[in-house]
Homo-oligomer: A and B are copies of this chain.
Amino acid sequence: MATTTAAQKRAQEKMAYDAFVAACPSRKLLDRISNKWVTLILAALGSLEVDEGCAGGPRSMRYSELSRLLAGVSQKMLTQTLRSLERDGLVTRTVTPTVPVTVTYELTDLGLSLHEMMRGIKAWAETHMDDVLANRDTYDGRVA
């Protein structure tokens, strides 16, 4: 049918992907980025540079720096998560052939757009921790 109404076009553009639909690829993508390590890594990259308003920094970090900053992360999860982020084009991996080798991870522009949100999520968790804790006490008290 060559007859496509404006409403149909609009609907197609707006609904190209919908994470509420189980089969939609964006559901899987949402599952990937809704992940503790993804959130922390994306929040970490570039976070050092923006400490005092230096927004134009290189937003990159070395493997060992990440490993130290994200306390408690295993090498496996760190590497695994970084790989998936690299595959999705959110970070770039750069190997500098020094001795020993130096590997840096840097946010791409795509990754940067998500970085903002992840910092927001992390900040939310930190600033509302007390509220949540209080709510849990209330809830548990009511049940018990």
SS class, residues of chain A in contact with chain B: helix
Partner among B31, B38, B125, B139 whose Cβ is within 8 Å of the Cβ of A19? B125
> In the bound complex, do residue A133 and residue B34 qualify as a contact, i.e. CB atoms below 8 Å apart?
no
Contacts of A97-144 to chain B: CB distance below 8 A: 110, 113-114, 117, 120-122, 124-136, 138-140
What total of chain A residues lie within 8 Å of the partner, measured CB to CB?
A: 54
A20 CA / B123 CA spacing, docked (Å)? 11
Complex contact B128–A87 (CB within 8 A): no
Whether a CB of chain B sits under 8 angstroms from the CB of A57 is no
**In contact, A139 and B30 (Cβ under 8 angstroms):** no
Q: Is A35 engaged at the interface, CB distance under 8 Å to the other chain?
A: yes
